């Protein structure tokens, strides 16, 4: 079996669980197993058959985007980590944020760094 770690912001879609055990020999199979039990989570993390772009998936500490994607093998007893970005820190919440929409020109010389 494989342990799938559920990030805090997706736990509401996984019955509040922090970890879920699942069967399967690839990421696709493991997440299909989890998705059977938690359809809301499947809806959330899949985007037309692929992992949604805001979710990173790690197997054995490696991002599956740098491996075989959903076909990345999952060894028995390994851990799959689902990880979206977290915003939290210090400043005001998004709802109160007012970033001007004007587009600033990059500083001179900045263009040459790219």
Partner 1 sequence: MAQVENRLEIDAPAARELLESDENAVLVDVRGADEWRGGHIPGAVLVPLTELTERIGEVAPDTGQRVVLYCAVGARSLRGAQALSELGYERPVSVTGGIVDWLARGFPSSLERTLEPDQRERYSRHLLIPEVGEAGQLKLLGSNMLLIGAGGLGSPAALYLAAAGVGRLGIVDDDVVDESNLQRQVLHSTSRLGELKARSAKRTIQELNPDVEVVTIEERLTSDNVDDILVRGWDVIVDGADNFPTRYLINDASVWHGIPVVHGSIFRFEGQVTVFKPHEGPCYRCLFPQPPPPELAPSCAEGGVLGVLPGVIGSLQANEALKLALGMGNSLAGRLMLFDALSASFTEVAIRRDPDCPVCGDHPTITEYVDYVEFCAA
Q: Which of 3, 26, 56, 78 binds partner 1 (CB under 8 A)?
A: 56
- Residue 77 lies near partner 1 (rule: CB under 8 A): no
69 is an interface residue for partner 1 by CB under 8 A: no
Identified binder of partner 1 from the candidate list 54, 68, 71, 75, rule CB under 8 A? 54
* Stretch of 22-30, 35-43, 58-66, 70-78 contacting partner 1, by CB under 8 A: 58-66
Q: Which of 65, 66, 71, 5 has its CA nearest to residue 41?
A: 5
> Hey, which residues between 2 and 21 contact partner 1 (CB under 8 A)?
7-10, 18
User: Measured between alpha carbons, how far is 92 from 81 in angstroms, rounded to an integer?
Assistant: 28
Spatial distance between the Cα atoms of 57 and 70, rounded to a whole number of angstroms:
9
By the rule CB under 8 A, 38 interacts with partner 1: no
CA 85 to chain centre: 7
Rounded to whole angstroms, the Cα distance separating 2 from 44 reads 20
DSSP β-ladder status, 55-59 and 62-63 = antiparallel
Footprint of partner 1 (CB under 8 A): 7-10, 18, 44, 53-56, 58, 61-63, 66, 81, 83-95, 97-114
């Amino acid at each position: 079996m494989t342990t799938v770690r559920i990030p805090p912001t997706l736990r509401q879609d996984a019955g509040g669980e922090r970890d879920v055990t699942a069967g399967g020999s690839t990421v696709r199979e493991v997440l299909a197993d989890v998705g059977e039990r938690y359809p809301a989570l499947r809806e959330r993390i899949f985007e037309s058959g692929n992992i949604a772009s805001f979710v990173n998936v790690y197997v054995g500490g490696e991002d599956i985007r740098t491996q075989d994607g959903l076909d990345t093998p999952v060894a028995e007893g390994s851990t799959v980590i689902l990880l979206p970005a977290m915003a939290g820190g210090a400043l005001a919440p998004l709802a109160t944020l007012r970033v001007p929409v004007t587009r600033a020109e990059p500083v001179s010389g900045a263009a040459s760094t790219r």
